[in-house]
Amino acid sequence: MNQTTNPTSHRMFIGAEWVATEQTLPVVDPATGAVVGAIPRGGAAEIDAAVRAGRAALAGAWGAVDATSRGRLLLRLAELIRRDADILARIESADVGKPLGQARGDAAAFARYFEYYGGAADKVHGETIPFLQGYTVMTVYEPIGVTGHIIPWNYPMQIMGRSVAASLAMGNAVVLKPAEDTSLSALHLARLAEEAGFPAGAFNVVTGLGEEAGAALAGHPGIGHVSFTGSPEVGALVQAAAGRNSVPVTLELGGKSPQVVFADAPMEEAAATITRGISQNSGQTCSAGSRVLIEDRVYDSFTQDLAARFRALRVGTPDQELDCGPVVNAAQQQRIQRYLDMARRDGLPVLAEGSLAGNVPPGGYYVKPVLIGDVPAEHPLAQEEIFGPVLVAIRVRDEADALRVANATSYGLVAGVWTADIARALRLARGISAGQVFINNFGAAGGIELPFGGTRRSGHGREKGFEALYGFATLKTIAIKHGV
Ligand code: NAD
């Protein structure tokens, strides 16, 4: 990345200080490709300072806050997020390139995470365990210490909301490293955390490159846990770096999630939901249903319905509020184009594509949504995560074939099953390897209350829902011998 001296320069938040660095990274507007600002290029020294600030907070003011008061602080932060929802939505929309309406939804979910986990902060109970005569044994959940959070660029508010709120609720101190392309909502969250009254060091944000600040955080011996959301390749690096210090990790990685459609499905609802799932955020959604597996006898009619919907999809600038905005950066645009070139080279039929608004700026990273038909289950387009608005349609003969194809990738994040036969739906829900299965619906982005995470190459550990709280705590067993 180039250095920039653009005056719209941001600072990061370490301890109680707003910190600048000599070197900076550019903030690029995906709608135009223009540099519109700069963020600090934090590295190992800044990560170390943030981890120290977190440890000092735990040994001091933050460690002394009881669970109910922690919850109140999170609820206060939720109120401030709601107050600034419009500002946050505009920041995120411009930074990621997503249509403003979609960013407004993200801002609402962001507040909701702090509400949900604020309410839960004093409700995580241990147990008493029947044991030998003359003993009382109990378990207690304690904070782990300083937790590291490395997040991607596609849903910054939602992803930092789910992991940061759960960790703070359990009494940990947080060091957050947002993605270098989209750090601005994290910096705004730091301002709000300061205003809400979190003690110094409880919440820290270090901006910077993945291979510098991110790697320094994952490998820091002073942290107790890493929550990583991003690609499987970087997830493996993060797990190895944390493993050298025996630090546990939660990995929320990619997906190639199947949408399975049988002849008895509610067809219109299925087609509308599947189209929305892959076009939302221009397909840059880890849980997007990016493969549609269609029972052979309705393949033609269902793909015709999907094709009509794809032709109606429109792409424009974020504030035009069409179906899709630009993708996040030039590398992502090129990655999607490589898969489309591969489809053409291999003779896969393009069944439909969306259209580009006439007046989009020439330097922006725009990609038209594409529906590709008759993709063999083993083809790279049916196996690899494209992370763009590209839906691949695959024919399946029957239930057994659908189950085989659904499980025939290395991923296991989410699945959708569309059928009126509930017994069949439940057989598939049990048989499909995934962290979440939706029957006759598909909750691609929502579901704050629903535990979420992957199997296989989609990662391990669970975030969202009450379950996440246990991942951000350490369980201690206390055995007391008091006699009878
Ligand atoms: P990425 O893995 O390139 O980057 C994610 C984060 O890791 C960024 O903050 C980056 O700076 C950091 N990073 C990069 N190199 C690092 C290193 N060596 N050490 C430590 N940190 C490093 O992913 P991306 O391109 O930002 O996001 C796209 C990927 O994320 C897709 O695969 C997508 O499916 C996945 N994703 C998963 C979920 C989920 O919840 N399962 C959610 C969103 C995105």
Ligand 1 close to Cβ of residue 109 (< 6 A): no
The answer to whether residues 242 and 203 belong to one domain is yes
Taking only the tens of pLDDT, the chain with its 484 residues reads 344 444 467 999 999 999 999 999 999 999 999 999 999 999 999 999 999 999 999 999 999 999 999 999 999 999 999 999 999 999 999 999 999 999 999 999 999 999 999 999 999 999 999 999 999 999 999 999 999 999 999 999 999 999 999 999 999 999 999 999 999 999 999 999 999 999 999 999 999 999 999 999 999 999 999 999 999 999 999 999 999 999 999 999 999 999 999 999 999 999 999 999 999 999 999 999 999 999 999 999 999 999 999 999 999 999 999 999 999 999 999 999 999 999 999 999 999 999 999 999 999 999 999 999 999 999 999 999 999 999 999 999 999 999 999 999 999 999 999 999 999 999 999 999 999 999 999 985 579 999 999 999 999 999 999 999 999 999 999 999 999 9
CATH number at residue 468: 3.40.605.10
In a domain, residue 187? The reply is yes
Q: Give the DSSP H or E segment for 176.
A: strand 173-177
In a domain, 1, yes or no: no
Residue 456 in any domain: the answer is no
CA 127 to chain centre: 32
Residues 199 and 287 occupy one common structural domain: no
Just list the catalytic residues: 252, 286
CA atoms within 13 A on the CB side of 398: 1
Are 384 and 284 within one domain? yes
Report which ligand 1 atom has the smallest distance to the Cα of 153. 26
Question: Do 205 and 83 fall into the same domain?
Answer: yes
Residues 348 and 333 in one domain: yes
CATH number at residue 354: 3.40.309.10
Q: Identify whether residues 58 and 198 lie together within a single domain.
A: yes
Output the pTM of the full model. Answer: 0.96
Does 453 fall in a domain? no
The CB of 211 under 6 Å from ligand 1? The reply is yes
| Cα atoms found within 13 Å of the Cα of residue 93, Cβ hemisphere only | 23
Q: Is residue 369 part of a domain?
A: yes
CA angle 3, 29, 192 (to 5 degrees): 90
Helix (H, G, I), strand (E, B) or coil at 190: helix
**Is 193 part of any domain?**
yes
Both 120 and 240 in one domain: the answer is: yes
Name the residue of 160, 227, 231 to mutate for ligand 1: max ligand atoms within 8 A of Cβ: 231
134/197 same-domain check: yes
Q: Give the structural domain span for 345.
A: 258-447
From the CB of 468, is ligand 1 less than 6 Å away? no
- Same domain for 168 and 104? yes
Q: How far is the CA of 299 from the centre of ligand 1 (A)?
A: 35
Residues 298 and 244 in one domain: no
In a domain, 78, yes or no: yes
Best of 234, 327, 411 to mutate for ligand 1, by most ligand atoms within 8 A of CB? Answer: 234
Task: Pick the residue whose CA is nearest to atom 22 on ligand 1.
Answer: 210
Q: 455 CB under 6 A from ligand 1?
A: no
Q: In a mutational test of the pocket of ligand 1, which residue from 96, 286, 291, 383 has the highest number of ligand atoms less than 8 Å from its CB?
A: 286
Please report whether residue 3 resides in a domain: no
Residue 28 sits at φ, ψ, to 5 deg, of: -110, 135
Question: Do 162 and 270 share a domain, yes or no?
Answer: no
Pair (290, 315) in one structural domain: yes
Nearest ligand 1 atom to alpha carbon 155: 43
Number of compact structural domains in the chain: 2
252 C-alpha to center of ligand 1: Å?
9
